[in-house]
Structure 1
Amino acid sequence: MEMPHTPEQAFTYLVDPRNRPEWQSSLLSVDVPDDEEPHLGQAWTELTVVGVRPSLVVTELVPYRTWAEVGTWRGVRASLRLRFTAMSGGCRVTAEGEVSGSGLYAVAAGSSGLLAKRAIAADLRTAGHRIAARLEGPPNE
């Protein structure tokens, strides 16, 4: 996904779990302290629109370059890595992920993994709009 924002702007917004319900369509809320800044090892839980409450942890954080997380819920494990590359007029955000499951959750994990690529692309487009709105600030009255 190409965005008309600097890697710093995109990274700062996307890696903060507190922002995720604004741009990630599958989320209702996140449970992370309001004053906690993103950091390696940061952990939180999410509430999804289907009622699942995965636990997540940041596994990689290189400011403005790379960020990764692993999420688990019962027999499902999902990983996501975002890479930020500067480009003329903005940046490219590359998402890499994997969903796996064991036992009864193997089929569900496989199905969700197939749908994830399209959902992540749509969510990143939404994030781009949210970043732009934040940079523009409130409308002048």
Structure 2
Amino acid sequence: MPVPRLIADLTVPFAASPDVVHAYLADPANRPEWQSSLRRVAAVAAVGDHPGDTGTSWEDVTLVPGVRPRMTVEASEPPHRWVEAGTWRFVRATLAMTYTPRADGGTDARAVAHLEVPGPLTPLALALRVAAPPALRADLRSAARLLARRTG
């Protein structure tokens, strides 16, 4: 059984409140706006009263032909925490977001990502440990800028 390997743990500041940040980042429809690896999301199966509620799932249509992980929201606790898991073939990745309010009314959004791959693909996990943090940070900074324009 593959072991989850930490590939990213970072925090990005947002000018908006935790409830606004959570609502924006959790909504699958917003993902292609700020996630650079996506063309679009497809086959969204919404669960609950809000986009991105626990149990919601969709398919990420990535820029890499044929790579279309199935994403599922494992936890949604607005405005504090949101967790997704993606599976594609024998690979599983999780992203846990936590939102901490700041004194200035903004939010510190912490992203912790893990990757599970079979033993022979361990070098892939190690390579992503180097590549994932800058990519994830850039995507979240893009989300912060977009959200600031919408709410500013």
Smaller-chain TM-score bracket:
0.7 to 0.9
RMSD: 1.9
Contact 2:70 2:86 in 1 (8 A): yes
2:39 aligned residue (5, 9, 28): 28
Shift of 1:103: 5.6
Q: Residue by residue, what CA displacement relative to the aligned partner does 1:97-131 show, whole Å, maximum 9, x if unpaired?
A: 11121165443343234311111111110001110
Q: How does 1:1-141 map to 2 (within 5 A)?
A: 1-33=12-44, 37-51=51-65, 52-89=67-104, 90-102=106-118, 105-136=121-152
Q: Secondary structure at the match of 1:88?
A: coil
Count residues in correspondence: 136
Cα gap change, 1:34 to 1:41, in 2 (>3 Å): closer
TM-score, L = length of structure 1: 0.88
Shift of 1:3: 1.3
Q: Secondary structure at the match of 2:113?
A: strand
Q: Residue by residue, what CA displacement relative to the aligned partner does 1:17-62 show, whole Å, maximum 9, x if unpaired?
A: 1100000011111014498722111111011111210001000110
How far apart are the structure 2 equivalents of 1:76 and 1:34?
21
Deviant stretches of 4+, over 6 Å: none
Q: Residue by residue, what CA displacement relative to the aligned partner does 1:64-112 show, whole Å, maximum 9, x if unpaired?
A: 1000011010111100000000001201000001112116544334323
Cα gap change, 1:83 to 1:13, in 2 (>3 Å): same
